[in-house]
Structure 1
Amino acid sequence: MRHHGRTPRHTAHAEALRLVRVTKSYGTDDGGADRVTALDDITLSLPAGTFTAVMGPSGSGKSTLLHCAAGLDRPDSGVVAVDGEEMSGGPGPARSEAALTRFRRTRVGFVFQQYNLLPTLTVAQNTILPLKLAGRRVDRQRVERVLTDVGLGDRLGHRPDQLSGGQRQRVAIARALVTEPSVIFADEPTGALDTRSARDVLRLLQEAVRLHGRTVVMVTHDPVAASYADTVQFLADGRLAGQLTAPTVDAVAERLAHLGDNIPMGV
């Protein structure tokens, strides 16, 4: 994958993502038994140009952490900053929903388990959709280069139902890359893929970091997927429960077992 486009924004900020004392609860507001604390006083700093996996038992708060960090959900308290700029919390008024949406469209990219492609649009049209929504100029040649880089240069006119699952997820990665975001959030991006396609997707996420200078934050339940990351952050009961640098499959699986997560080993 070649480097193209403008220099990543993170050159001015060594820190791509910062959470300070972030809490989030769901349920009734009266403090009763139905109230569930999904995130409990989370403080986390991720350097720019890194690949971080977030893991933990079911119900540990992984997806809530991702959604709050990405600006898809607002925390009850605490500060979330992307690229040195606060999305929520901190002094001053909270961003409006419109301002938050604009911020996400320029600074953040998303890759989801179920691809989230529009079935009536072609590969190229799905890829440029974030640019269209943001009212940004579309450089067709650059879009073609991004799609070629993810192995879809000969599929520009195909629709999602003409693609395999792995190809659909590569469209989703191209769509995330095309806006040149600071941070790409990936929620179980290999969950619906076979082993080979999953590894292709994970390598593309690695390249987004190593060749394009993006920062990737990936929620996964899979020790094999996590082994592609630089660091694994573990969650349990809504709290950080340690980290693992240069993770191996066995080391991740062992740590998860200690968190009470009995997870199958395959991709």
Structure 2
Amino acid sequence: MTDVVRLDAVSKVYGRGQGAVAALREVSVAIPRGSFTAVMGPSGSGKSTFLHCAAGLDVPSSGSVRLGGTELTGMDETRLTELRRQRVGFVFQAFNLVPSLTVVENVVLPLRLAGARVDQAWLGEVVSRVGLDGRTGHLPAQLSGGQQQRVAIARALVTRPEVVFGDEPTGALDTMTARDVLTLLREIVDGMGQTVVMVTHDPLAASYADTVLYLADGRVVDAMTAPTADRVAERMTRLGAWV
């Protein structure tokens, strides 16, 4: 099992001088291919900055970020955009669907934007995997929140990305719907060999992952394997003390 994402001594500082804020401090993490990793921490711990740097959405102040065998450091925005479009999938708390497009049109949108051919067999498998058979002609307004997030997950998968990054992907969903979406994320790791990295504040969501990384004050202060919701919640209560 090789690493699909690797951060080496990554720091991110916003601002300059006395107003400078260090969002990440010397973070080194390796994300194995075919794994499900949750990233947790209190508000302001650096979770979103970690995700943005790992995904090539933001540029570290120092350190190295690699996606597969590709070094992201030093890439200009045009090359980073191409890399994200071809090799990275994103699922956010907001579904970010285009209201005037059908389910299938939303799913294939990244391919259309890239001028890439749609592999109909793969599209059919992705739609089936996320449980949207029979819904492909619907508009987003005709779907529930959980179904809309399934469309977003299918859109993230259709380009066959090396890694899918999720930023609070169940944050806008009720508890039962969130469980369905988390089960789906677990299934695409186990059944499709996909790699998922998910920022969350929810111990239940984190319990679906293989590993939980804990951030505090911009540093990775702990990692937990085989997490349960209770263990994750208990660890979160002690993060302020880093113990």
Matched, 1:15 2:15: no
SS at match of 1:60: coil
2:98 alignment counterpart:
118
Spell out, residue by residue over 1:119-148, the C-alpha distance to the aligned partner (whole angstroms, 9 max, x if none): 111110110011111221012343233112
CA distance in 1, matches of 2:169, 2:212: 16
Question: Structure 2 length normalisation: TM-score?
Answer: 0.96
2:33 alignment counterpart:
48
CA distance in 1, matches of 2:180, 2:52: 25
2:109 alignment counterpart:
129
Q: Structure 1 residues 194-203 or 164-173, which shifts more?
A: 194-203
Deviation at 1:85, TM superposition (A): 1.2
Unaligned runs of at least 5 residues, structure 2: none
Q: Aligned residue pairs: how many?
A: 241
Deviation at 1:260, TM superposition (A): 3.8
SS at match of 1:131: helix
1:66 alignment counterpart:
51
- Counterpart of 2:226, as a letter, is A
Deviation at 1:84, TM superposition (A): 2.0
CA RMSD of aligned residues (A): 1.3
CA distance in 2, matches of 1:204, 1:81: 27
2:42 alignment counterpart:
57
2:24 alignment counterpart:
39
Aligned residue among 76, 83, 102 for 2:61 = 76
CA distance in 2, matches of 1:140, 1:124: 11
1:10 alignment counterpart:
none
CA distance in 1, matches of 2:135, 2:129: 12
Q: 1:1-267, aligned counterparts within 5 Å?
A: 14-27=2-15, 29=16, 31-32=17-18, 34-88=19-73, 94-260=74-240
Deviation at 1:196, TM superposition (A): 1.5
Spell out, residue by residue over 1:88-141, the C-alpha distance to the aligned partner (whole angstroms, 9 max, x if none): 2xxxxx212111111111211000001111111111011001111122101234
Unaligned runs of at least 5 residues, structure 1: 1-12, 89-93, 262-267
Question: Structure 1 length normalisation: TM-score?
Answer: 0.88
Spell out, residue by residue over 1:142-187, the C-alpha distance to the aligned partner (whole angstroms, 9 max, x if none): 3233112211111111111111110000000000111111110000
CA distance in 2, matches of 1:242, 1:14: 21
Q: Please tell me whether the aligned partners of residues 150 and 174 of structure 1 are also in contact (alpha carbons under 8 angstroms).
A: yes
Q: Please tell me whether the aligned partners of residues 15 and 84 of structure 1 are also in contact (alpha carbons under 8 angstroms).
A: no
- Which contiguous aligned blocks of 4+ residues in structure 1 show a shift greater than 4 angstroms? none
